[in-house]
Amino acid sequence: TNELENEKEENYKLIQDQRQVINDTKSKIEILKQSLQQSNQFKNQLSTVINSVIPSERIISIDMGNYNNQSDKYVISITYYFKDVWLADNYLQVMSDASDIFKVVFPTNSRIYQVQTTVKEKYSDDYGNTQERYLARTSMNRETYSKINWEGFESSKLSNIANVNFYGDSIYKDLKDLEDK
């Protein structure tokens, strides 16, 4: 009888331990669900503010990650298609788009540390096939964003205060390359 009582008590403890593991797992799953829901809400909020600048049909992706593996700092990366065929003076439009994106994205969350844009173009090659190429990349961190008086800021000066890189055939790229020498 003592053996049965001891076995019963051990089984009861095992069941209690298993219940605790199940309850802990349920709690962790609930926390993950809430986190995912908050992440989706945040991404939807980002999409809304970005769509106020760049129409959704031109947006390729909106990605979010951690800055240098710091969970309290986000990097937002936006990739989109340029609106028209790339012309030599369209660098001004790219800088205007980037400035507008920076201006609306940073205020959505104080944990956003850096915003990056990548601009692509669709074009037809000599054989009539649709291709893509990179046109420009920009990035700005929160410190730079905070210094800007957005009411008086001219987007044509963005390359003086943020990372702006143009690729391919661009008069602006050629001029910047000469300026940098």
End-to-end CA distance of the chain: 93
110-139 per-position pLDDT tens digit: 999 999 999 998 888 889 998 888 889 999
| Residue 9 dihedral angles phi and psi, to the nearest 5° | -65, -40
Structure confidence at residue 181 (pLDDT): 58
CA 166 – CA 91 distance, rounded (Å): 8
Structure confidence at residue 4 (pLDDT): 85
C-beta separation of 97 from 91 below 8 A: no
Count of positions (residues) in the chain: 181
Structure confidence at residue 72 (pLDDT): 87
CA 153 – CA 7 distance, rounded (Å): 77
Show the low-confidence residues of the chain (pLDDT under 50).
none
Rg of the chain over all Cα atoms, to the nearest angstrom:
26
Structure confidence at residue 5 (pLDDT): 87
Token representation of residue 54: 């760049």
Structure confidence at residue 137 (pLDDT): 95
CA 15 – CA 23 distance, rounded (Å): 12
Question: At 12, is the secondary structure helix, strand, or coil?
Answer: helix
Amino acid at 110: S
Structure confidence at residue 42 (pLDDT): 87
